[in-house]
Amino acid sequence: MSFTYDNKKSPFLNLEPNIVLIDDFFSFVNNPTSQILTDLSTNSVISEKNYTYSYDSDDYPILRTDGTETITYEYY
């Protein structure tokens, strides 16, 4: 599995302790913009997801969508 990331702040950046709360989630620093699952025996792409974000004035995401599902982030 491979990921690409943006250069904005992750909503999990200041979460303590830094534990993985979401399956297949590898970064607490930036936000994944694409996720590609590859069959290593054939080098073929099994699945690909692309994410787009809307950010607040502090560069934290407030919305993430993959075209099918939208996640809303709230900060307190």
Find the distance separating the first CA and the last CA of the chain, reported in whole Å. 33
| pLDDT tens, position by position, 18-43 | 565 555 555 667 999 999 999 999 99
Q: How far is CA 1 from CA 35, 59, 72, in A?
A: 7, 26, 25
- What is the percentage of the chain residues whose pLDDT exceeds 90? 67
Specify the pLDDT at position 74: 92
Show the domain range for 39: 2-72
Cross-sheet strand order for the sheet of 70-72: 52-55, 61-65, 70-72
Number of domains in the chain: 1
Specify the pLDDT at position 1: 86
Specify the pLDDT at position 27: 60
Rounded distance, CA 11 to CA 5, Å?
13
